[in-house]
Amino acid sequence: MQKFKPSLTVILMVLLIAPFSLKAQEKFSGVVFGEYYYMLSNHNPGIEGMNGFWFRRLYFTYDHKFGSRFKIRVRFEANSRGDFSTKEKIVPYVKDLYIQWSKNGQSIIIGISPTPTFSKVEKFWGYRAVEKTPLDLYKMAHSRDTGIAFKGELARKRVHYHFMFANGEGNKSEFNKQKKIMGAIGIYPSKKIYVEFYSDFEKGPVGSTNVYTLQGFIGFTTAKFTLGALYSSQVHQMDEEENLNLRVLSLTARYTINEKFTVLGRYDRMMDPLPYGPEISYLPLDSVSPFNLFIAGIDYRVNKNFSIIPNVEFVRYDEFDTSDLMGKLTFSYKW
């Protein structure tokens, strides 16, 4: 995937933001997570036995608030490539670059910003350091896009909405006349339950593919337990070929034992073959068989900012006996 590299324009923007307001509030923050992995078994014999260290993500974020209404965020990301075959240096690129206006719980965001697709889903899962959420992992959606977004809270914060009109190219630049429309509506029936409905539509260029996505999510949380259930259906409407259908069910759970330990688990059922499965970073998948993905681990919090998470990812395919098993020692640090 082509990524934006920091340009002189972006760097100058960061340097020039500071004096924009005498009442500005500035904050620098960061997140780093990665792991030592060992591919114990794999459907691809060429990567079975592979092992090593890699960084899944490095975030460096600058937030600048001026007045009571405006906020600017600039975030750089870098990561190891994670495809088992290419040696490349870790190169940063622009992850977020937007200005946000907010009033009375309502916001307008312009620039490269998070999409509505799985922002809430990721919070309920809680372990992005271990693995992406389903639509992100299986390359069914982008975590960021370039455009304009409207988000906020209504009915005493019991109703949440997030709509976005964007290029549809993620962090890459636009190259056609078509755009993508995304929208999510979330409801808190109670303090412990959250229900969300999401849909998007992306019209492809002439002779290309139109893509429709529908998703439903329900989350339940208490002081100790957090549970989530998601179902997504995506249709790639081909012009001359049979449509490509992708359906996935995901169940997540985590239980906080005490202030130091949390047990986590996840089950994904991909009901259709995933054509671009081999292109998935860190966990390449077979392209011709539906499969089940199981994730289990335990989070040991060294302190509030640093976690060590031993975990395993196991993939069982429908069409053949070979399975994928990867053991990982994941670390996550934020400041």
What integer pLDDT is reported at residue 5 of this predicted model? 52
What integer pLDDT is reported at residue 14 of this predicted model? 55
Residue 288 contacts residue 273 (beta carbons within 8 Å):
yes
Domain ranges within the chain, ordered by starting residue: 8-334
Tell which residue, 60, 67, 80, has the closest CA to residue 10.
60
- Spatial separation of the C-alpha atoms in residues 237 and 199, rounded to whole Å: 15
What integer pLDDT is reported at residue 19 of this predicted model? 52
What integer pLDDT is reported at residue 174 of this predicted model? 81
pTM: 0.89
- Spatial separation of the C-alpha atoms in residues 223 and 112, rounded to whole Å: 34
Tell which residue, 232, 220, 221, 253, has the closest CA to residue 125.
253
Q: Return the number of other C-beta atoms located less than 10 Å from residue 69's C-beta.
A: 11
What integer pLDDT is reported at residue 283 of this predicted model? 95
Q: Which ranges constitute the DSSP H helices of 118-222?
A: 119-125, 134-137
Q: Mean pLDDT, 10 residues at a time, over the chain (335 residues)?
A: 51 52 78 97 94 95 92 96 85 95 96 95 96 96 96 95 94 83 97 97 76 97 96 88 92 97 98 94 95 98 97 96 95 97
Both tokens assigned to 148? 């304009």
Both tokens assigned to 266? 């996840």
Residue 54 contacts residue 82 (beta carbons within 8 Å):
yes
Contacts of 227 (CB under 8 A, 6+ apart): 219, 220, 221, 251, 252, 253
Contacts of 112 (CB under 8 A, 6+ apart): 94, 95, 96, 97, 98, 144, 145, 146, 171
What integer pLDDT is reported at residue 172 of this predicted model? 80
Tell which residue, 113, 123, 122, has the closest CA to residue 150.
113
CATH topology of domain 8-334: Porin (2.40.160)
Contacts of 223 (CB under 8 A, 6+ apart): 256
